[in-house]
Amino acid sequence: MREKRKISGFQKKYLVYTLTLLFVALLFTSVGITGYMYKNQTSIITDKYAFYNEKAGISLDSLYHKTEEVTADCIVNNMVQGSLSSAGLSDVEKNSLSKYFAYMNLDDISEYCYVDNKKNVYTRSYTKLSYNTFSTSGFIDKLGDSYAKTIWFVSEDKLFGTNEKSLYIGRKVHSQNYAQKVGYLFIKMNPEFLKGLMDVDNSYSSDVATGIIDPDGYIVATSYPDSFELSKKAEDELRLAAAVEEAGPIVKNKSISGGKLFVYRQKESGFSFFTIIPDSTFYKGLNNLYKVLAIIYLVAIICAVLLSIYMSNMITRPIRVLNQAMEEFNGDDFGHIIELNTNTELDNIGKAYNELLDKIKSLLEEVKAQQKELRHGELNMLISQINPHFIYNTLDTIYMLARINKEETTMKMIQALSKYLRLSLSKGSEIVTLEDELENVKSYMQIQQIRNENLFTYSVGCDVDPKKTYILKLILQPIVENAIKYGFCDIYEGGKIDIKIWEESKMLVLSVYNSGKSIDEDKATLINSLKNKPILEGKTAILPNEKNGYGIYNVLTRLRLMYGEDIEFMFKPEEDGTSCIIKIPKESVRNEEG
């Protein structure tokens, strides 16, 4: 069953950062777009309703002037003027005049009354209005000091008995020719008279609250959206804004509680048309924007996530391969090679990993071999150290028997072997004085001279103080052994071994010359090249069959382990033999001394 792969690690971080960046970008974009759109939307809406309010205000102007014209026509009407003359009107003329007003060119008239300067009252035929009712209604006072201006005012209906608050249009009626008493004309308007202004354009009025307010702050007519409610605070602010003597668009885009206010004040009447744009209207247009943005952002986020996964996958897949290979590597299986073909730096990393694996494998094998050797050495050491005293006592016993039997050669050999073993076994320490080392090799050569009579002679020359110079033990013996074994393999006598020790350029030089067979050039070159190669390679090179050359390999390995890579170990074929030269840094030698 295929395991469901989780998004984690580098890919997860990549995804998180991408989404964070996208979120910040979208946040800024949202803020920017919202800000811009709000500003733009606000500008468009305010301009639109400023225009609408002014348009409605101008309609209010027109409506006022219409009432002015209509009432002016009444005032200059011959019968009206005749009613003010001293002669007055006949009954027939009075009846005609009452009917005349019914034909005023003005819509939405509810009632009217004209009172001449002789207390005659002219109304609709079915309307009963006495002069006494008229004179006590207080309506005359509503006209103030104005000579004959058209006055709009809102009042309770005390003329026609309905007591409802209505809009009235009133005007004093003067004689054109003589300074006579004045007459009065009042027209009561239906509510539709002003309502019509608010339906100037239905496309405007559905979103905003509109109305008409009189100079005293009484809201005469309104047209509010269903969701709108004019708060007390907003109403007070409206009254305050409209209570100015100026005319025209007196308030534009004023912030009030719940919205923006526009007021157009009609000059002559003092009535004002107002428009309130509720705050919700400004945001209404943004909702659609938010919906579109939400869709765009959703698509952008999905795309970003998919792209992020795809892009990150391109990077993380080889990383995962590397990671998996590393995780699965148990230290044994070096054959798990990574093959990457991404044409990126990751290919180099894969290649380096493979090389590293090879290197580790090589080192591991070397370490294993070294450990094996070490265990082998340690075993030998243990075996050799089983009971040195027993060996010495045995050798003493053999020596005594040889002495009793007067076997001189045996006695010499046992003495030499005893010296040799004392240095090899009894000391324990790896570092010995050059004196002991020379004593050891001399004992060995003496033993070999007894074994191989007349095979070789030897000489030892030391230009340094052997008591104060410390070196790794058993260096010279294996070389001498090698010289006897291979150098003198073809002779039976006359061989010569010269051991020389001197100092040269901060190095302690140990030279072992044998006059036997010269070493092969190839063999010498092979051994000399081992200096910069792994130790294990040396073994392979020197001990191809693991039977011969173990001593040389042992010396070289021990020297490199003790003194590092600064030592020199080389075989030099001579015309009449072979030299083996060992150079050890004097500093290392002195350190041992210390």
- Contact residues toward another protein (CB under 8 A) are 24, 27-28, 31-32, 34-35, 38-39, 42-43, 46-47, 50, 68, 71-72, 75-76, 85-87, 146-149, 173-180, 246, 248, 250-254, 260
Please identify, using beta-carbon distances, which residue of 36 and 131 lies nearer to another protein: 36
Please identify, using beta-carbon distances, which residue of 215 and 249 lies nearer to another protein: 249
CB 202 to another protein: min, Å: 24
Given the structure tokens 């008995």, which residue do they identify? 161
CB 159 to another protein: min, Å: 23
CB 248 to another protein: min, Å: 8
Please identify, using beta-carbon distances, which residue of 218 and 297 lies nearer to another protein: 297
Sign (positive or negative) of CA dihedral 225, 231, 236, 237: negative
Chain length of the chain: 594
Please identify, using beta-carbon distances, which residue of 251 and 530 lies nearer to another protein: 251
| Separation CA 583–CA 568 (nearest Å) | 5
| Separation CA 169–CA 159 (nearest Å) | 13
| Separation CA 507–CA 351 (nearest Å) | 42
Please identify, using beta-carbon distances, which residue of 209 and 251 lies nearer to another protein: 251
CB 149 to another protein: min, Å: 5
H/E run at residue 443:
helix 434-451
CB 49 to another protein: min, Å: 10
Please identify, using beta-carbon distances, which residue of 146 and 348 lies nearer to another protein: 146
H/E run at residue 63:
helix 9-76
Please identify, using beta-carbon distances, which residue of 87 and 382 lies nearer to another protein: 87
CB 260 to another protein: min, Å: 8
CB 36 to another protein: min, Å: 9
List, as own/partner pairs, every contact residues 282-289 make where C-beta atoms lie below 8 angstroms and the sequence separation is at least 24, other chains included: 282/38, 282/41, 282/42, 282/45, 284/207, 285/37, 285/41, 285/45, 286/34, 286/37, 286/38, 286/41, 289/33, 289/34, 289/37
Q: Given its phi and psi angles, is residue 589 left (phi above 0), alpha (psi -120 to 50 degrees) or beta?
A: alpha
Burial zone of 354 (CB within 10 Å; 0-12 exposed, 13-18 middle, 19+ buried): middle
Best CA proximity match to 208, nearest among 224, 231, 229, 195: 224
Please identify, using beta-carbon distances, which residue of 150 and 443 lies nearer to another protein: 150
In DSSP terms, 507 is beta-bridged to: 504, 585
CB 83 to another protein: min, Å: 13
In one-letter notation, the amino acid at residue 225 is P
| Separation CA 543–CA 526 (nearest Å) | 11
Please identify, using beta-carbon distances, which residue of 242 and 510 lies nearer to another protein: 242
Best CA proximity match to 517, nearest among 493, 496, 542, 490: 490
Residue 522 DSSP SS3: helix
